[in-house]
Amino acid sequence: MPLSNQCVRFVKPAVGPVDERHFELSTSTVSAPDAGEIIVRNVYLSLDPYQRRQMMPGVVYTNPLNIGDVMVGRAIGTVVESRDPRFAVGDWALGHFGWQHYTRISATKAEKIDLDGFSPSTFLGALGSPGVTAWVGLRTIAKVRAGETVVISAATGAVGSVAGALARATGCRVVGIAGGPMKCAHAIEALGFDACVDYKSANFRDELAHATPTGIDVDFENVGGYVFDCVLERMNDFGRVALCGLVSQYNLPEPYGMRNIAEVLNRNVMLQGYRVTSFPEQRPAALRELKDVLRSGVLRPAETIDVGLAQAPAAFVRLFQGANMGKSLVRLADETI
């Protein structure tokens, strides 16, 4: 018998700030799987900044969204029907399942997950693409070394919090950039950053200089715009920038014009942008270390969890208002099978 399914669709072109009117809740059915397919009951949806990029008209990016599409997104859930020997009913599966309760999908496009003692939600955060993104940026791109000063923007977010833990584990001085006193306090008290600077402060540039008295060796850049401009002024000679996101730019009709990009030349700075999907061979090593830092307590990631599919659009909008702490998720069902 077909399963009744609710989903969230992308229904309005996104130019400028995104709001709940860009989404619509709809109902459909999911028919029985064909040979080689599975049906997953999604338990957690992942809300991530990259999804905003896929909503942009004419964007040159992986799998851009078209009007009427089910909203894209990673999810983790349990298999409720299987016609593939790699999955049994009750197995946990991870993939690009979208904003919906049930996903019928080829088994080749899902990953079987052994929870290994971790919460399922962790595989969308610290043990998911955010965690691996942090690992690739610090280990493969920037190659951080003990004793260096590392600055991490969006420090309390899903990626930044993991990057901070990895830099601390390497023996670096770790300086975060976050929005507001509460987030800065969380970065220091809960995440173990040596300092954190509030980018909303009228004295942000001076406070960043005070927090980095010997300059910056590595910038793990999540934000872009004015924040990035200020960081470039503090870079040391032959510093490295791992550019993994520009979240301050995604809701702007016109991008911020960089003013200090010449400092990359003046200071012999290495600047490399990257997408974690371009480094699949790094994932096994990343997961090994990430599990170690989680079990050791060096990494204690926060999660902001909304409950119910209907809450996904509002939660997504709040992500770009800086309202979340740590990984932003939507829980659709209980974790029990």
Digit-coded pLDDT (tens) for 105-162: 999 999 999 999 999 999 999 999 999 999 999 999 999 999 999 999 999 999 999 9
Using pLDDT thresholds of 50, 70 and 90, give the confidence band for residue 305.
Answer: very high
Answer yes or no: is pLDDT of 240 > 60: yes
- Look up residue 253 and give its two tokens: 């009709």
Answer yes or no: is pLDDT of 62 > 80: no
Task: Name the class of domain 129-279+287-294.
Answer: alpha beta
* Among the ranges given (86-95, 112-121, 246-255, 281-290), the one the predictor scored with the smallest mean pLDDT: 246-255
pLDDT of residue 211: 98
Using pLDDT thresholds of 50, 70 and 90, give the confidence band for residue 23.
Answer: very high
Q: What's the chain's average pLDDT? A: 93
pLDDT of residue 110: 98
Answer yes or no: is pLDDT of 170 > 60: yes
pLDDT of residue 317: 92
CATH number of the structural domain 3-124+301-331: 3.90.180.10
Using pLDDT thresholds of 50, 70 and 90, give the confidence band for residue 215.
Answer: very high
pLDDT of residue 138: 97
Using pLDDT thresholds of 50, 70 and 90, give the confidence band for residue 260.
Answer: very high
pLDDT of residue 60: 63
pLDDT of residue 15: 78
Distance CA 60, CA 75 (A): 23
Distance CA 266, CA 131 (A): 32
Segment 257-283 shows an average pLDDT of: 95
Answer yes or no: is pLDDT of 337 > 90: no
Domain ranges for the chain: 3-124+301-331, 129-279+287-294
Segment 63-86 shows an average pLDDT of: 93
* Among the ranges given (213-217, 297-301, 327-331), the one the predictor scored with the smallest mean pLDDT: 297-301
Q: At what angle do helices 158-170 and 283-296 cross, to 10 degrees?
A: 80
Please check whether the two domains, 3-124+301-331 and 129-279+287-294, share a CATH topology.
no
Segment 82-92 shows an average pLDDT of: 97
Answer yes or no: is pLDDT of 324 > 90: no
Segment 238-248 shows an average pLDDT of: 94
The predicted-structure confidence for 29-60, as pLDDT tens digits, reads as follows: 999 999 999 999 999 999 998 888 888 776 66
